[in-house]
Structure 1
C-alpha cells in the first residue's frame, strides 16, 4: 500500500514519462510526415488519404506506449491481478471511460485518477496537433472558403491605425 506522498511521486514520474514520450513521438511523426511529403511523389488524392491515416496511426502508437507504461507499472507493482487487468484499468483511466467492474488496490487510486487527467490532456494535445498539421498541409489561403481574420477584433486603437483619412 502506498502513502499519498508515494502516489503523488509515482504520478509525477508517470506524467513526466508520458509527456516526454508524447513530445518525442509527435516530433518523430512530424519528421516522418515531412520525409514522406518531400521524398515521395504520390498523387494528391493518395496523399490526402495516406498522410492523415499515417498521422492517426502514429498517434495511436504514441498513446499505446503511454497506456502500456501505466499498465506495466500497475502489473509490476502488483496493484492489479495480472497484465490483462492492469491494461484494462489503464485503458479505462487514460481514456476517462472509468471501468467499474475492476478496481485497483486502495494505495493506487490517486495514481489511476491522475492517469485519467494525464490521458485527457494528452488526447487533447494529439487532437490539436492533428488538426493543426492537417490544416497546414491541406489548406492554402486561396483554397480556404472563409477570409482570414474577417471578424477579428483588433480593438479601437488598431482599427484607428488601419483607417485612412
Structure 2
C-alpha cells in the first residue's frame, strides 16, 4: 500500500538519485502520525475542558499520589518547563477550580499546588478516556510490534539526549 510519503520519496529519487533519503521515510511518517495523534488527543482533552499543558499538570499531581500535592519547582522539573510557563497553567487551572494554591507550612516563601476534588474527578475521567483513545490509535499494532517500536524509539531518543 502506497502513501503520500512514498510519492514524495519517489519524486526525490527521480530528482536527486544520489541522495540517501531513507531517514525521510521514517521521519516523514513519524511527523504525519504525530499530527494524527495530537489531533485525536487534543479532542479528548477538549471534551474535558483541558489543553495538553493543563492535562500534564493535573497528571503530574495525580501521579504524585495522595495528597496530590507538589510545589511549583517539583512540577516544573517533572514537566521540564520554566516556572513562568507553569504560572500561566496554574492560573488557568486554579480559575477552573481544578487546583488550589496554599502556603507551604514548611517554607513560608513557597506554596503548594494541590488537586481539588473536582480536579481529581476531571483528571481521572480524562485519563480513562485518554488511555482508551491511545489504545484505539495503536490498534494496528500487535503487542510485539508495540514493544519493538517502543524500544526503537527509546533508542533514538537516547541517542539525541
Structure showing greater Rg: 1
TM-score (norm. length: structure 2): 0.34
Bigger strand fraction? 2
Question: What is the TM-score with the length of structure 1 in the denominator?
Answer: 0.33
Q: Tell which has more relative contact order, 1 or 2 (C-alpha 8 A, sep 6+).
A: 1
Instruction: Compare the two structures and name the one with the higher helix fraction.
Output: 1
